[in-house]
Structures are given as structure tokens and as C-alpha cells.
Structure 1
């Protein structure tokens, strides 16, 4: 049985007020309702060396485009010794290579699908035409090849790619299709000062939770649950029990929460401080000194941590601020040892972190032409479940809008918008914390949390092909917590069939 907040209160008599009468303290009650707390702290052996994913090879074609060849395919992976799990991967058995390109380059991807069923590949965080986005409208049939191309025009950032077929995103990501997409630019102010030697002092860290049965991962694991699938063990870059060799005084970790539903609250075992230098869409204005960084599924953060020669330092996650309370299966009380950093006996010197990182032009609130409200509740956004033939929102090209988003059902949600990087104006009416001061494409929405986001729609318009906005708790997304928006140039109307716009939007945008 799936225990939702409403179902639990029904089982307990419909009111939380009388819960003490049951004779259960809150910890016991939580265990009774949501299951046993997961705690791997001090229990992970760290016996398997992890490395940065390989960089994907590419070539420059006659038109000057950087061309990548990607193959989504079935495979198998020995996550635990002697136990093989069926998997999917990109150019390999599990996960995929790191894609890397520079701002201003035109890229072309030949994406072949040999996975046995239709899927797609979405470029999460990328600013690009809707026909190249890799969402539900760009499905790749089994045996077919999809070849999107666009020119990269956004700041240096740690983006990623993953499947996005309507109704099966959670399952296809769980099977192993995901990887990092790094954008570089020529920002001379920071290029030489931040760790930037890929695989040496600059390492992607893709964190995913999985459930092992007899040492194997079931690729068809059920994704259901209040927030979706929550596993009891972790993989880092596809490695179980991982340790990372560190050769420099400072190391840059590009953290990606690649899980389906789990929220992580990353910190080090000794609670040392580190610098957060980037969020989803690129560098922060200045380094943020902190001892914790929390990431919802799909979110990224770059951190730089200083290590001492010869030490072994453990990256952990515990007590994420999910805010869902004792009747939710959200993993908020779980604790994990994530990754061990093993510093060499002699370390190469690293430059100090610069005091200023990037100039981020603020989008003026007064420039917004419209404010919209989005309530996420009961597998719906604003009361509507996803329909591929319905356009929910039409925005005008070269305009800014404010989107106010909140969770309306007492359940943990997140919010991701395709194509744009937005800025967080406020969290519950207050100034956002430093970690949210840069460009973002995904935010966490604990119950009772409201965020105001401002974004500008530029460069691309198409009256027929939409972008998505959705909860990035992937089970929620697959159940219908997703909507579609189009960007219109002056004079354009939502046209063609089957896409259609709700009547109130037609009146607002087609006058």
C-alpha cells in the first residue's frame, strides 16, 4: 500500500491531534507509517575506486559543428562482485560519457536508440530550440537515430542529460541513462584560478540511490511512493562503495543529484567548511562558504573543498530539509555515507579561490510583463494533468515573466523549467539564501514553501512545439505533474493541431 498523507490520516482516524493517544512517540510512529530509517553512516567499506566519467569523443565536421555520436543501449553492470544487473547506458553499460563543448560552438548529436523500446534524451538546463529539447515530443523509436543541432549560448555550467519519454522518465533514468554536459567559456577572471583539470582536480559526482536484491539492481523496480522511488544504497558515477583519489590541495566536485526522488543534504563527516562556487546554470557571483549543500533531484552544485595530505574524508548526506513531516515517505530522516576522498601523501598546490566569480545581470522585477501562479498538488499543476495535445501557457519572445510556485498538497515537490535559466526572487517572501543567488533551472518545494522565480524567454520561438515545466520528482512527473508552454514571436499564434491552449490563455495571448 502507498501511504499518502491523506491515506495515513484516514488510517489514524483522520486527525493528527489524537496521535499521542495511540501510545506511539513520533520516532516510533514515523517508523510505523513510513518504514525503517535508512542509515549507512560508518557502514560503507569504500572498496571501489571511482573516477570521472570519460569525456565523449567528438569531431568537427565540414560545417564547423562539433559532432558527438551517442548510442543508448542495453548492457549489464557488476555493481557488486559476482552479481550482474541488466542496465541501460549511453556508449556503455551504465550512465554515459561527459559531453563537453564551448560557448559559441554549434553542436550536433547523432543519438541512436538500441535500448529495445522508444525513449528520448533531454538536455537538462540547456537553452535551445524546442525541437532539439529531447522532451516527450522528440521520442526516438527503437532502431532510429535522432540528430539535434544548436549553437550553445549560455555561461559555463554543469548541465546533464537524461531520458524524458512521457510516462516512463523515472524507469528509463533508473535503468542508467544519464550523464553530465559541461559548458566552457573564456571567462579569464576565473579560468586559471578554479580547479579545472578534468578527472584530476575537477570531477563530476553523480549520486543515485538504488535498491539491491541479492546484489543486483532490478531495472524494472517499481517507482511508486509518496515522492517516488527511494533506494537504500548509493552509487557514485555508477560505482558502489566508492572512493576517489585526490592529488591536489583543493578539488572541485560537480555534484549532480541524479536520483529519481531522493533529496540529499551533502556535508563532510568532520563538518568542515567548503566553497560552493556554482549552481544549476553556472558560477555564483561570489564563493559561498558553507558546510552543507542541499540538492533535489536534477539540481547541481559545484563545490571546492580543501584536503590535507594523507587524510580520508567522507562526504555524507543526512536530514535534508524536506519539510514533509512524519506521514511522508520522503527520506528526510535517512543518513548516507556517499563517497570517500583519499588524499595522497603529497599533494600538488592549488591556487586560492577568487573572491569574485561571475557577473550575473539581474532581471529587473519591473521588466516582467506577467506574473503566473503554479500550484503543484495531487499529480497536477494548477489542477490539470499533462496532456501532450494541450498547450498550458503561451509566453512572448523577448519578455520576462515572474512564476510563483508552491506545493499545495502537503507533499514534497520540485519545479523544473525547460529552456530557461531563472533567478530566485524570494523564498517564502524572504531574500533567497546565497546558494540560490545564481542561475537555476530546478528548485525544491517542501510543503509550505513558496518561491518567486523570474525568467526571460529569448532567441527561440515556435507556435507548435512546446517546452515542458514539471515536478522533477520523476514519479510525480510520469503521473501527470507536468505542463507545456510555447514561446511566440510577435504576430504568432498557437497554431496547428493537435496542440491547443486553454480558453483563458487564448484570450490573454491571441487578442
Structure 2
């Protein structure tokens, strides 16, 4: 029997290899196609709204003889029944999940007695609060497991909806996702003089929005393939309640919106496309109410809106698909194509009359950039800020107490990012060299920076000086922060130099 020519063997071998390559490419292509087409999440029209919305208890603390308002916060492990009969391991402040709403007034001295009952070290950061750096609760103010910390400061800023959450370097996403978060409301004479809905839990509702995913009874913490924004859940909770509804008895209802998710960006509106009035942003009231039907909030951002209800009607607060300038890939895998039904409002058959909203609210409290003495530039990408990952022992910037600066922040990669600055509220001067949209005209401490976007921010650093205790600036998509998209600055008196932060072993 004659042997097969060598050339024919090579042809067969090449044909076999080619067939395997084609099969491999088809398999990979099929997997990518399936992954892409299955990436979109939507709960629109699929939520029954069977659970009454939980409203976090309002904590006004106790007042000491010297007038100090004292709060108690215990960081605890717990078990939460998000779904009937199914208990999930969670963390919370003074309870199993989330924490009480703290409330204080401008001019008051406050003290918070914190006890860490967790199995891990953590911190409590006062997001949006103007206070000394040593009291800020950033990664330099760690509270050891079993330990205590008692920060104290005098409230010296306008009425606003702020919040508190952990800020341990490298673990912030994990600690926030497990449930450690709560609101901190500030009041002042200006806000109290305005005819705004203000009865907490009645016509003035906290709305803490989080996305979540369950793996059996446990909270799923996994990052699915291609999700470079961080953790993205497949359903949402408001105030720790799945499928929530709220019965309301007033014509006007104020919703204090907080995006407490770790990576997801929401595009809020109502299912019937009704308009609402935006009255407040991160750092306080707007100059005047702004009528809108869509409002986008990235992680850490807050907004106060007022919606008008008619007797007996129902409406659903919804998060719509994003229109944020994300590319084809990130629109799908960073949650831009996702949509959620969040909360159903149910109006009573008879409603209490509400006064009309004031035409003017609060004068601007942030600088307009005209007195800035320095301009600084910040380039955001996953490798760090200005190509430097966070280092706990490195002071990146030194600013002079009392000075105003303009910070220019650019998103230099294709991912969604945002930018949060501790201690200060800033004014957005421009977005891509154009005036900002009306919803960005109020005081801000966190701003969304989509791909190929540059924002100019005006801020003032009015103390107190502390050359050894830094504040942070960072992306508030918390996995990005944990990966090193963070820097730190100190505020010093004129002529003073930066010191060196204490070593924390991180």
C-alpha cells in the first residue's frame, strides 16, 4: 500500500487547524454576543410594590449642658429579612442595615460617639460636611474593630442633605455595599423660613437608592465580566426595602434623593413622565426651583425634588436608560442601558393642601471663580489621578487657608467616573467649556464626569488649617476609589508647609 504524500498530510493538518480556529472563533464570538445581549437589566413593569417603604428613624441626639448635640452610632453586624423568610448577613449603624438619619442645625456643636462592633477596622466619613480634617472620617481616621472614636465639630454651612458612610482605604466598596450608610440633615434659618415640605417621614422623605444582587441568601459582591465600573446589581432597594411603596397625604412631597450605590448611575424620572421641581443639590438649596422630568445622579450625589400628587393617584419613581456620552461598550456594561422601577407613591383620596413653592430659595454660597488664585488640573483614569495611584503617606496638594482655586477635571478614559472633594462645596463653572446645565447650578461636592468630558470647578478652602491631616479627592465609583483613583491635600496657613500623615499600615 502506498504512503500518503507529505503535501497531502500538511493540507489535512492545515484544514484541521483551520477548522479548530473557526470553531474557536465562533465559540468566542457566540460567548461575547451572549454576554453583550444578556448584559441589560430592567425591572420596569415587573415590580409589584408589595412592601411599605422603611423610613430610617430620625436621630436628633441629646443636648449636653454646654449645648453640644451628641449622637451615638454603633457599627454592627446583623441579619436583615429583605425577602420574606430569607435572612441576609448585613452591616448597619444602630441596627442591622443602614443607619438613622442624623439632624443638626447650623451653628451647633456636634459630637458623634462611634463604637466599631464589626470584625474589621472601618471609618465613618461625613460626606459633604465642612469640618476639620482630623474629624473627616477618611482613611486616616480608622476605627479599629472593637474600638471607639468621637469626632466633634461645629456645623458651619447651609442647610443640606448630606450622608455618612465608611471610607477605609481599599475596602470602601465592600463596607458600603454591606449596608453602612445613613443621611445627615442640616437645617438653617433660611431653609426654615421657606414654605417647603419639611415634616420628616410624612411630606419630606429620605430616598436612599441602592442596587443589590442576591446569591442565595447572601449579598452578592461579584463584579461580572466586563463591568469595569464596579459592582452592578440586578434589582434596587430604597431605604433597604425591596419593591417599596409609600402612602402620602400631602399635595407636595419632598424626596431627598441619595445615590448610595457603589457604581451605578441613575437617571431619575417618573413612569408617567410628570415634571418635578429640583430644589436642592449636594450642598444645599438651589437659587430657585428648576422644573425637570429627568435627573441624573452618580454615586454619592444627592438632590432634593418636590413632586405634586393628585388625590387617589399612583406614580412610580423610575431610573431610565442613561444619556451620558458613554461609548457602545460602556453604555451596555457600565449599566447605561439598564432601567429600574424604584418606588411607588400612593396618594390618599383626600390630600392636605400644600403652599406653592417659593420663587426664590437660597443665594449662591459657592465662589464664582473670579477670585481664584490658582488653577489645578486632574486627569482621571483607572491607573489613578494624574497617573498616580493613591499613597497614604504622600501629600499630593497643599492649599492655603482662605484661598479660592479652580480645579479642572478631565475624564481621560472611556469609563464613567465622577469626582468628589472632601470638606468643600464647589460651583460647576463649565462643562466642556460650555455653561453647565441648570441642575448643576447649585452647590456640589460630587460631580459626574462622563468620558471625553472636562469640568471646571470653583471652590474655597476656608479652614481650619492642619498640615498633617489630609482631606481626600477621588472618584466616587467606589471600586475605582479602592483601586487607587484618589489623592489627598492639606490646608495650611499662609507660609506654612505640608507635614506628613501618620502611618496607618495600609
**Normalising by the residue count of structure 1, what TM-score does the alignment of the two structures yield?**
0.90
Query: For 1:354-503, what aligned pairs fall within 5 Å after superposition?
Result: 354-361=358-365, 363-496=367-500
Query: For 1:199-278, what aligned pairs fall within 5 Å after superposition?
Result: 199-214=201-216, 216-218=217-219, 220-222=221-223, 225-278=227-280
Residue 359 of structure 1 and its aligned partner are, at CA, apart by 0.8
| Unpaired segments ≥5 residues, structure 2 | 1-24
Query: For 1:45-444, what aligned pairs fall within 5 Å after superposition?
Result: 45-187=48-190, 191-214=193-216, 216-218=217-219, 220-222=221-223, 225-328=227-330, 329-361=333-365, 363-444=367-448
- Three-state SS of the structure 2 residue aligned to 1:262 is coil
Residue 115 of structure 1 and its aligned partner are, at CA, apart by 1.1
Instruction: Compare 47-56 and 294-303 and name the one that shifted more.
Output: 47-56
Residue 497 of structure 1 and its aligned partner are, at CA, apart by 5.9
Contact 1:88-1:177 at 8 Å conserved across structures: yes
Q: Partners of 2:392 and 2:383 in 1: how far apart? A: 15
Residue 468 of structure 1 and its aligned partner are, at CA, apart by 0.1
What per-residue deviation string (whole Å, max 9, x for no partner) do you get for residues 110-140 of structure 1? 0000011100000000000000000000000
Alpha carbons of 1:362 and 1:116: their partners in 2 closer, same or farther (altered >3 Å)?
Answer: closer
Q: Which 4+ residue blocks in structure 1 deviate beyond 3 angstroms?
A: 28-35, 219-225, 496-499
- Three-state SS of the structure 1 residue aligned to 2:134 is helix
Residue 364 of structure 1 and its aligned partner are, at CA, apart by 3.8
Alpha carbons of 1:153 and 1:197: their partners in 2 closer, same or farther (altered >3 Å)?
Answer: same
Residue 64 of structure 1 and its aligned partner are, at CA, apart by 1.7
Q: Partners of 2:395 and 2:37 in 1: how far apart? A: 37
Q: CA RMSD for the aligned pairs?
A: 1.8
- Three-state SS of the structure 1 residue aligned to 2:175 is helix
Alpha carbons of 1:498 and 1:120: their partners in 2 closer, same or farther (altered >3 Å)?
Answer: closer
Aligned length: 472
What per-residue deviation string (whole Å, max 9, x for no partner) do you get for residues 443-497 of structure 1? 0111011100000000311111100000000000000000000001023111246
Residue 213 of structure 1 and its aligned partner are, at CA, apart by 2.6
Contact 2:106-2:158 at 8 Å conserved across structures: yes
Q: Partners of 1:157 and 1:267 in 2: how far apart? A: 22
Q: Partners of 1:450 and 1:232 in 2: how far apart? A: 31
Residue 145 of structure 1 and its aligned partner are, at CA, apart by 0.8
Q: Partners of 2:371 and 2:34 in 1: how far apart? A: 49
- Three-state SS of the structure 1 residue aligned to 2:143 is coil
What per-residue deviation string (whole Å, max 9, x for no partner) do you get for residues 243-272 of structure 1? 011110010000000000000000001101
Q: Partners of 1:427 and 1:372 in 2: how far apart? A: 16
Alpha carbons of 1:351 and 1:323: their partners in 2 closer, same or farther (altered >3 Å)?
Answer: same
Contact 2:124-2:138 at 8 Å conserved across structures: yes
Q: Partners of 1:483 and 1:282 in 2: how far apart? A: 25
| Unpaired segments ≥5 residues, structure 1 | 1-21, 500-511
Q: Partners of 2:501 and 2:380 in 1: how far apart? A: 27
- Three-state SS of the structure 2 residue aligned to 1:171 is helix
Contact 2:221-2:231 at 8 Å conserved across structures: no
Residue 309 of structure 1 and its aligned partner are, at CA, apart by 0.8
Aligned to 2:20: none
- Three-state SS of the structure 2 residue aligned to 1:327 is helix
Contact 1:51-1:199 at 8 Å conserved across structures: no
Alpha carbons of 1:131 and 1:498: their partners in 2 closer, same or farther (altered >3 Å)?
Answer: closer
Alpha carbons of 1:192 and 1:426: their partners in 2 closer, same or farther (altered >3 Å)?
Answer: closer
Q: Partners of 1:134 and 1:364 in 2: how far apart? A: 28
Q: Partners of 1:408 and 1:464 in 2: how far apart? A: 31
What per-residue deviation string (whole Å, max 9, x for no partner) do you get for residues 285-342 of structure 1? 0000010110000000000000111111001011123322222221000010010001
Contact 2:423-2:471 at 8 Å conserved across structures: yes
Q: Partners of 1:482 and 1:178 in 2: how far apart? A: 20
Q: Partners of 1:268 and 1:454 in 2: how far apart? A: 33
Contact 2:413-2:452 at 8 Å conserved across structures: no
Residue 219 of structure 1 and its aligned partner are, at CA, apart by 6.3
Aligned to 1:11: none
Instruction: Compare 474-483 and 376-385 and name the one that shifted more.
Output: 376-385
Q: Partners of 1:471 and 1:250 in 2: how far apart? A: 35
Residue 193 of structure 1 and its aligned partner are, at CA, apart by 0.7
Q: Partners of 2:277 and 2:195 in 1: how far apart? A: 13
